[in-house]
A and B are shown apart, each in its own frame.
Chain A
Amino acid sequence: MKSLKTLYIGAGILGTLIVAAIFAPLVTSYDPTEQDLMQTLSGPTGAHWLGTDALGRDVFSRLIYGARVDLTIGVLAVLLPFIIGVSLGLMTGWFGGKFDSSVMRVVDTVIAFPFYVLAIALVFIFGPGVKSIIVAITLVGWVAYCRIVRANVLVAKELDYVHAARLTGLPTRRILRRHLLPNVISQAIVFSMSDIVLSILAIVSLGYLGLGVPIPTAEWGSMIQEGQPYILQQWWLATIPGFMVVIVGFALSLIGDGLVARLER
């Protein structure tokens, strides 16, 4: 029961954030990119709950609209690696042989590549923006799913239910999809929760460096960077966007733990 509770709390926190992000125009009446140079760094007021930034933009609106950007890219960036990694993991684990060992060589190489170095190098090729982030995360991220699923397939393919399915003469594709996949995918799903956090961290870091989502789009990473010069006077400008990420990470971590506990039962 305790596990279900963590699952619900996590889903509740994340759900609230997602709803707020979707209905951002209803949550706040300000345009997150609209500047008001008469009213910069106003500090919290009745009109601007978290004050305004150096360009007079409403910080609260930027936070909510930032959730849209960060959460969307965070989830999107995990989708592709998930699909690629799970498929390759299924196939390498099942077929083994030359195919398996050559994919594993690639896996070893990717593991040696520091993610942020690769991401920065890709920004160099494609230019800053969402595309580079997603390509970079995909190039690196599939490896973890591939390894998780492959390890599970290696165990599962020796189990009786798989032997039974093979004896009935079903086509391999069907055995993989209908019999093996549902049994090996759960760990990958649990991992994807923490992977979303990692990808949001990447978006935020690249945003901070000015290599991420182009300004003036509201994004938590660039908000941290823009708030940093005023940190002594108005600490919340750089602090609160970071808290948002921590909250998302906390929620996803609870969801992951809840899923693990449910799967173990």
Chain B
Amino acid sequence: MLPVLFGISVAVFTIVHLIPGDPADVLLGQNATPARVKAINHQLGIDRPILIQYINFIKDLFHGSLGTSFDNKEPVAKLILGRLPETGMLLTGGIILSILIALPLSILAASKRGALRDQLVRAIPIIGLGMPQVWIGVMLILLLGLKFPLFPVSGFGDTFPQHLRSIFLPSLTIAILLSPILIRSLRASMLEILDSDYVLTARAKGISQTRITFVHVLRNAIIASVTVLGINVAYLVGSMVIVERVFVIPGTGSLMIDAIAKRDYPIVQGVTLYFALVVVVVNLITDLIHAALDPRVALK
């Protein structure tokens, strides 16, 4: 994990230094004179050697500082933390909904291989993986927001119940994006497990089909799928940025896209770093869940 964090910090630092143009020009706009540019550059520390700049960047990181926004002079860390509830709820909601969609469908499909219901569930990944995330969002807005106005189509609301209602359609968008991937892996691993000797042992024991499915098959299938979930976290987090935009949710992703329009690069840098961290943390959590479910995995 440490090498990854190091790699991420180097990557973000590099990206920001690839940005063409002087930040001072952006800061000063029309009022730029050579003397002022020089003063600002000194103030920002970008006239120093690149290695020193990197070390300072890391030092600031350790103090929890991601710099200050050009636009409104607020600390970037504070801006990101302020958007945490939106992003956190969207991510959790999306994962929970996708499990709620994928699990029953996979059980239904795997319990009768080759039957019509299995064929139908098998078609879901083939079609679902080709659906653009923005399009899923727009379709949900059309169906569940406008034709049948059950849920708000934009914003985040003010109270917690309102948050939950507002977050439903965007979470569902993420779930529709993620569940085809989960269905494919869950169905495949359940079929494999159903053919395994330990399920034969369980069947020979004469215990009920329900118990076999939920105790013997499901737990092992979930272990296999948790890893799949972990692999797709980066894709999921990235898609969240897009989904936030579709539903006009003022989350971290929107913060970033707005910052791009204003060329407010400390925010872009901070949010990029933050999202990479989110991926690392969620991966860590899936590793923990994996270890908790599978006695064969020893925690390092």
Contacts and interface: CB of A to CB of B under 8 A. Distances in A.
Asked whether any CB of A lies within 8 Å of a CB of B in the complex, the reply is yes
A204 B132 CA distance: 7
The 9 A-B residue pairs with the shortest CB-CB distance, nearest first, are A249-B130, A109-B7, A242-B135, A116-B238, A114-B238, A208-B134, A114-B237, A204-B132, A246-B130
A235 interface: yes
A117 B237 contact: yes
A112 B4 contact: yes
Contacts of B223: none
Q: Point out which of A205, A209, A231 has the most chain B C-beta atoms below 10 A from its C-beta.
A: A205
B242 A231 contact: no
Contacts of A205: 132-134, 239, 242
Contact of B265 (A111, A117, A124, A248): A124
A253 B257 contact: no
Interface of A: 105-106, 108-109, 111-125, 194, 197, 201, 204-205, 208-209, 211, 220-221, 224-225, 228, 231-232, 235, 238-239, 241-242, 245-250, 252-254, 257
A112 B257 CA distance: 20
A242 B139 contact: yes
Contacts of A232: 142, 146-147
A239 B238 contact: no
Given A112-B283, A204-B134, A209 B4 contact: no
9 contacts: A108-B3, A108-B4, A117-B238, A117-B241, A118-B238, A241-B135, A245-B131, A253-B125, A254-B126
B20 A125 contact: yes
B138 A115 contact: no
Nearest to B269: A121
A116 B242 contact: yes
Given A114-B241, A201-B132, A109 B127 contact: no
Interface in B116-168: 125-127, 129-135, 138-139, 141-142, 146-147
Given A114-B279, A118-B272, A249-B129, A221 B256 contact: no
Interface stretch (B11-19, B41-49, B58-66, B70-78): B11-19
B224 interface: no
Given A112-B8, A201-B130, A239-B138, 16 more contacts: A105-B3, A109-B3, A109-B11, A111-B279, A113-B275, A117-B271, A121-B268, A205-B242, A224-B138, A235-B142, A242-B131, A242-B135, A242-B138, A245-B130, A248-B130, A253-B129
A228 B138 contact: yes
A116 B283 CA distance: 18
B102 to A, nearest CB: 18
B235 interface: yes
Contacts of A105: 3-4, 7
Contacts of B11: 109, 113
Nearest to A128: B260
B234 interface: yes
A231 B260 CA distance: 28
Interface residues of B, number: 49
B40 interface: no
A253 B126 contact: yes
Contacts of B246: 208
Interface in B227-282: 234-235, 237-239, 241-242, 245-246, 253, 256-257, 260, 263, 265, 268, 271-272, 275-276, 278-280
B276 A114 contact: yes
A199 to B, nearest CB: 12
A111 B260 contact: no
A125 B138 contact: no
A113 B130 contact: no
A239 B18 CA distance: 38
A103 B125 CA distance: 32
B272 A253 contact: no
B133 A120 contact: no
Given A117-B238, A117-B275, A109 B130 contact: no
Contacts of B276: 112-114, 117
A128 to B, nearest CB: 10
A89 B64 CA distance: 37
Contacts of A250: 126-127, 130
Contacts of B237: 114, 117
Contact of A224 (B135, B245, B278): B135
A114 B127 contact: no
B4 A121 contact: no
Contact of B234 (A112, A204, A211, A257): A112
Contact of A245 (B132, B142, B272): B132
Contacts of B15: 118, 121-122, 125
A111 B7 CA distance: 11
Contacts of A238: 135, 138, 142
A244 B158 CA distance: 38
Nearest to B15: A121
A184 B239 CA distance: 31
A194 B232 CA distance: 14
A221 B4 CA distance: 33
A114 B134 CA distance: 17
Contacts of B256: 117, 120
Given A232-B146, A249-B127, A108 B234 contact: no
